[in-house]
Structures are given as C-alpha cells and as structure tokens.
C-alpha cells in the first residue's frame, strides 16, 4: 500500500515537472504507465490475449459434426437398390436404401467428425418423414444437436407423382388423361408448402447449427421431346416436365424464405436449395445414355419395378456432385457459425515503445 502511494506521489511530481518543462503531451501518459502500470497507451497490448471468434467456412460448418441423410426414393437409392446384395443398414430392405445412392459418395468426399447417418426412405412424404414408415423410427429422430449437415429430397410423393406417372402410362394412346390431372397435381404441390416448412422447422429445432441442403428433382424428359416414349406423347412429356418445374419452384421458394429468416437474425446454420432440374440435360429418359431408368415391367408378374423413373448409377453420381459442390460453395452468404479460440496463457504483453521513439528529431 505504501509503495503504491509513493509511486503515485512520484508520478504527480513528475507530471508537474514535465508540465513546467513544456514537454510533449504524449510523454506523460507513457511515463505514468511505466510508474503506475496503468493508463497504458493503446499501442501496448494487454497482458495475455482475449479469446478470438473465428467465422467458419461453409465446409467447416458441414464437417463439424454428423451428416444425416433424409428424404424419399431419390435420396434412398431406389433406382439402384436391386443391385445391392445385402441391406445397407437397419430397415434398408423396406426403405430401399442403397450403397449406390449419392449419400455414401458424399460421406466419402468429406470427413464428417460425427460420422454419417443414412435414413432416407423410398415413398416418404413430408408427414411420414416426421411420423415414420414401415414400423421404423421417424427419419426426423435421427437429427440431433450433433448434426452439422442434413441432405434432403422430399415433395414428389406429396404431389403424388408416382400415381400421376402411372395414370399417364396406362392411358389410351389418344387420351388426354395425363394432362387432365393438371389441377389436382397443382393443388397438391401448393399444399406441400406448409408441410415442407414444418419439416424444416423441426430439423432446425433439433439441429440449430446445421446446414440443411434440399435437393430438387431433375427434368425427366428432354426439353423438346419429339417422340412417344412409354406411351407418353410429346405433350405428355412436356406436361410432366412442367409439373416437375412447378414442384421444384415451390420447394426452392420455401427453402429460400427459411434461409432469409435465419440470416436476418444473424443465426447460425442455413437452409440451401440445389436446383437439379437441368442436371440430367442430355441424359433424360429416352436419350441414348439416360440418367433415369425408363419403365421397367416384370412380364412374369406383370408388375412395374420400383426403379422405374428413378436415377441410375450415373444419375446418383451426378446428384453426389451437386451436393459436394454445394457443401463447398455454401449458401451464398457468410455463415454465422463461429469457433471460439481460447487465449494463449503463455502470451505476454509487448513492451511499450520508449518515450519519443519513432518521433522526428
């Protein structure tokens, strides 16, 4: 205590002397700092270091925890499921999860610290994603706070595309039964919006820091078809393309609105939409090297194989490329996920420059 008082008296006396000598005003603070170890100028860093916040890149955010793959047949691997010799994991035989899906490829392309959970299920609707199928736990239960990346394709079954396509194929060749479904399909697509929003909200609640990548559907037929294929006239094919575009636009709009809300609050995580509509261009059904299976009928049982109008191995590899590219690119805005770097306990204060250092003489 006595030493502190003495130092204060010395500093005051020094200040008076300096003032009488009319010395530069910046000399006093430096000497006061030296005597009192207080009031040090800004160019002298504090002892040690403060913790630092570092903004994470999109790729870093995705890899921090677990990768969870949800969705319908376009994610499960329906189009190549019958090539697998044994089920991929629990429930895969009912959900037709396949090693040829894009999910295992994405899982190998990046090192996810929490591993990968692959639970997309063929036939899933938005409601079933939340409630479960075939006696299996709901897909949504696989998402938890450790999840850093979610991929998802959903909506086609809500729109009833399988039944729509079947009705188009089995119609009489001269019938308009295919395009006559327009109003019913458009209504179901519009009704998808609130249900998709509910799915995204539930994912967000369970994994508030995660990136969510929503994958759209590819155009099934050439942009300007000229020939009938699988009893589908060029007009039928154009209409089915239009319905796919309409579905994608709805899904993309919901995802974009959700992400804008996340960004507006400066919150971590994201919801990103990957528009796959043009991704199979030149490889649609009817082209020489299609990325989608055409109609496949088992003539003995007179049943349609489930892989019909689902991606081939090449199609799923194309999807994998879209997803891996999106992981690297991010949502097109800065991520609000940060890493806190603790201070270095061994760091010391850099000594202040001596009085008058660097000043012209």
Is 96 labeled as catalytic in the residue annotation? no
Q: Does residue 67 contact residue 115 with C-beta atoms inside 8 Å?
A: yes
Which H or E run includes 211? strand 211-215
Of 312, 329, 292, give the one whose Cα is nearest residue 102: 312
Strands 297-298 and 303-304, by their bridges, are: antiparallel
Of these residues, 96, 122, 270, 310, which one is catalytic?
310
Is 76 labeled as catalytic in the residue annotation? no
Place of tokens 């909506």: 155
Q: Which residue blocks in 45-181 are alpha helix, DSSP H?
A: 58-63, 73-76, 92-95, 102-109, 126-131, 161-170
Of 113, 93, 115, give the one whose Cα is nearest residue 103: 115
According to DSSP, the residues that pair with 52 across neighbouring strands are 341
Residue 278 DSSP code: T
326: phi > 0 → left, psi -120 to 50 → alpha, else beta; which?
alpha
Of 208, 164, 190, 210, give the one whose Cα is nearest residue 251: 190
Residue 141 DSSP code: G
Of these residues, 24, 73, 167, 233, which one is catalytic?
73
Rg (CA), the chain: 31
In the three-class reduction of DSSP (H, G, I as helix; E, B as strand; rest coil), residue 262 is classed as helix
DSSP 26-59: THHHHHHHHHHS-S--TTSPPSS---EEEEPPHH
DSSP 177-209: TTGGGHHHHHHHHHHHHHHHHHHHHHHHHH-TT
Q: Active-site residue numbers?
A: 73, 310
């Amino acid at each position: 205590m006595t030493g502190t008082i003495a130092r204060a008296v010395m500093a005051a006396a020094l200040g008076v002397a300096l003032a009488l000598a009319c010395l530069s005003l910046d000399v006093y603070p430096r000497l006061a700092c030296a005597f009192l170890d207080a009031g040090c100028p800004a160019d002298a860093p504090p002892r040690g270091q403060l913790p630092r916040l570092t903004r994470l890149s999109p790729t870093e955010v995705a890899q921090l925890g677990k990768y969870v793959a949800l969705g319908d047949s376009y994610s499960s691997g329906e189009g190549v499921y019958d090539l697998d010799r044994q089920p991929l994991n629990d429930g895969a035989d009912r959900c037709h999860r396949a090693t040829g899906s894009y999910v295992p490829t994405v899982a190998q392309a990046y090192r996810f610290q929490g591993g990968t959970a692959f639970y997309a299920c063929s036939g899933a609707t938005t409601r079933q994603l939340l409630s479960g199928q075939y006696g299996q736990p709901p897909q949504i239960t696989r998402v938890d706070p450790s999840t850093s990346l979610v991929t998802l394709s959903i909506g086609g079954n809500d729109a009833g595309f399988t039944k729509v396509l079947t009705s188009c194929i089995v119609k009489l060749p001269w019938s308009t039964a295919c395009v006559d479904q327009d109003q019913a399909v458009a209504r179901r697509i519009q009704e998808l919006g609130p249900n998709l929003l509910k799915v995204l909200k539930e994912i967000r609640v369970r994994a508030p820091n995660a990136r969510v990548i929503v994958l759209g559907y590819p155009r099934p037929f050439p942009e300007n078809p000229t020939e009938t294929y699988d009893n589908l006239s060029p007009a039928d094919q154009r209409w089915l393309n239009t319905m796919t575009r309409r579905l994608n636009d709805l899904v993309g709009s919901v995802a974009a609105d959700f992400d804008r809300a996340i960004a507006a609050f400066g919150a971590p995580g994201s919801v990103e939409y990957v528009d796959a509509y043009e991704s199979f261009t030149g490889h649609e059904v009817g082209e020489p090297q299609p990325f989608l299976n055409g109609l496949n009928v088992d003539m003995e049982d007179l049943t349609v194989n489930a892989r019909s109008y689902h991606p081939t191995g090449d199609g799923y590899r194309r999807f994998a490329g879209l997803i891996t590219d999106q992981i690297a690119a991010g949502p097109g805005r800065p991520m609000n996920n940060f890493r806190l770097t603790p201070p270095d306990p061994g760091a010391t204060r850099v000594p202040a420059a001596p009085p008058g250092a660097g000043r012209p003489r």
